[in-house]
Amino acid sequence: MKTLADLEAIRKRTLDNLNTRKDEHSTRVVVGMATCGIAAGARPVMAAFIDEVAKRNLHQVTISQTGCIGLCRLEPIVEITKADEEKVTYCKVTPEIAREIVASHLVNGTVIQKYTIGHIENN
């Protein structure tokens, strides 16, 4: 970045990216990647989401990471937010479960209840 025009171009790209994330048809996948999540296996889980979403060309899915979600005993934790829907929190996610979540929840719109926080906490 050397000029104000360069700065303006960066600003425009960033705003365009943010607006894409706000798209009413977009889905956001957030993987807990604090020390507790990483120790529980969050890195391979995140890699599985990235690979599976790329294989399926799911352009409206954004995958990101966050710090501690606050339920260390349930790590790896993944939160999925779709526009106009309640957030779904999946717990004790493995790479295999991540692939299953992509196929069922992200592609077909069906939440896999047995992996959600409500189901795990009640059993």
- What does the pLDDT read at residue 17? 64
Residue 115 is assigned to a structural domain of this protein = yes
CATH code assigned at 42: 3.40.30.10
> What is the mean pLDDT of each successive set of 10 residues along the chain, which is 123 residues long?
79 67 75 95 96 93 92 94 91 97 96 90 68
CA distance linking residue 34 with residue 38, whole number of Å: 6
Helices and strands, number each (H, E), in the chain: 5, 4
Count: domains in the chain: 1
Assigned domain for 43 exists: yes
CA distance 88 to 29: 10
- For residue 22, the model assigns a pLDDT of 52
Please give the model's pTM, rounded to 2 decimal places.
0.78
Which pLDDT score, from 0 to 100, does residue 110 have? 95
pLDDT of 23 reads 55
